[in-house]
Amino acid sequence: MVTRIKSAAVAIIIAVIMLILHDTFVFNLALGFIICVAIWEIFRATGYAKHQAVAIACYAFVAVDSIMPALHYHGWALFFNSRLYYPMFIMAVCVLYLINHKEFNYTDFFFMIGVTSLFNYCFSTLTNMARVPGGVFLLLITLCAAWLADSGAYFAGTFLGKTHLCPEISPKKTVEGLIGGVAANGIIMLIISLIYRYLCKGYPVHFVWIVIAGMLCAVIGLIGDLTASIIKRQTGIKDYGNIMPGHGGVMDRFDSVLLVAPFMYYVYTQGLIFA
C-alpha cells in the first residue's frame, strides 16, 4: 500500500506538471512517450515485440505524430502532415513484411499496424485537447472521468456489492460498484466544473452535459478496463509492466483513458462542454 501511495503521489505531481505545460512542446513529447510505452507493453504481452524492426517503425510513427502538432501549431513544416507520414509508415511496414515474410506473417502485419493506429488515434485526442481554449479544464475532466470512476466503484462495491458483474474477467467488480462509479463520476464532474467556473473564473460550461458525459465515461472507461483485463488473462500476465510500482504499467493506468479520451473530445467538438 505504501508503494502504491508513493507511486500515485509521483504520478499526480507529473500529471500536474504536464497540465501546466499543456501548450508546450514538453506535453507532446511526454504524450508520445506514454503512447510508445503503451504500445510496447501490448507488443511484449502478445509476443509481437520480437519483430523489432517493425516495432521501431511503429514507435517512430507515434513519435513523429506526437511532435508534429506542436510544430504545426506554430505554422512550421505544414507540408509534412499525417496525410504524408502515415502512408510512409504503412509503406515502411510493407517493405519490412516483404523482407521478412518468412518470419512475419499477415496476422503480425495487421496486428502491429492496428494496435499502433488505434492507440495513436485514441491518445492523440489528448494532444488536440491541449491547445483548445480551456484545454487544461478539458484535459483534467477527461483524465478524472477515466480514473476516478474506479474509486466510486470500489467503495460502492466494497460496502454494497453483491451481484458480480463479470466474474470470469474481473471477479471483484459488481453491478452495485458500477452504479456507484457512474453516480460518483457524475458528481465529481459537477464539482470540478463548479470549481473551474466560479473559483477559477474559467469559461462558462454546460454543467448538465458534463455530468452526463462523466456518467457515460464511467461505463466507457470500464469497457476499456475490462478489455485490457481480458488481454492480460489470455496472455497470462498480471500487469503490463512495472513503470509505476504497485500500479503496473502504462496500460494498467491508461486502459480506460484509451476510450474515454476520444469520447470526451467528441463531446467537446459538439459544443457540449463550454457554453
Last residue within a domain, chosen from 79, 95, 130:
130
Q: Are residues 106 and 211 in the same domain?
A: no
**How many folded domains does the chain comprise?**
2
Q: Are residues 191 and 120 in the same domain?
A: no
Last residue within a domain, chosen from 130, 147, 170:
130
Last residue within a domain, chosen from 130, 148, 177:
130
Structure confidence by residue, pLDDT tens digits, 175-203: 999 999 999 999 999 999 999 999 999 99
Q: Are residues 220 and 249 in the same domain?
A: yes
Q: What is the DSSP string of 49-105?
A: GG-HHHHHHHHHHHHHHHHHHHHHHTT-STTSSHHHHHHHHHHHHHHHHHHTTTTS-
Average pLDDT, the chain: 92
Place 120 in a pLDDT band, splitting at 50, 70 and 90: very high
Q: Are residues 2 and 52 in the same domain?
A: no
Res. 5: pLDDT tops 70: no
Stated pTM of the model: 0.93
Place 166 in a pLDDT band, splitting at 50, 70 and 90: confident
Q: Are residues 198 and 234 in the same domain?
A: yes
> How much is the pLDDT for 169?
86
Cell of 1: 500500500
Residue 33 sits at the vertex; the CA angle it makes with 63 and 226, to the nearest 5 degrees, is 110
Structure confidence by residue, pLDDT tens digits, 67-92: 999 999 889 999 999 999 999 999 99
Res. 24: pLDDT tops 80: yes
Q: Are residues 167 and 257 in the same domain?
A: yes
What is the domain extent for residue 115? 27-130
Distance CA(30)–CA(21), nearest Å, equals 10
Q: Are residues 122 and 86 in the same domain?
A: yes
Q: Are residues 169 and 185 in the same domain?
A: yes
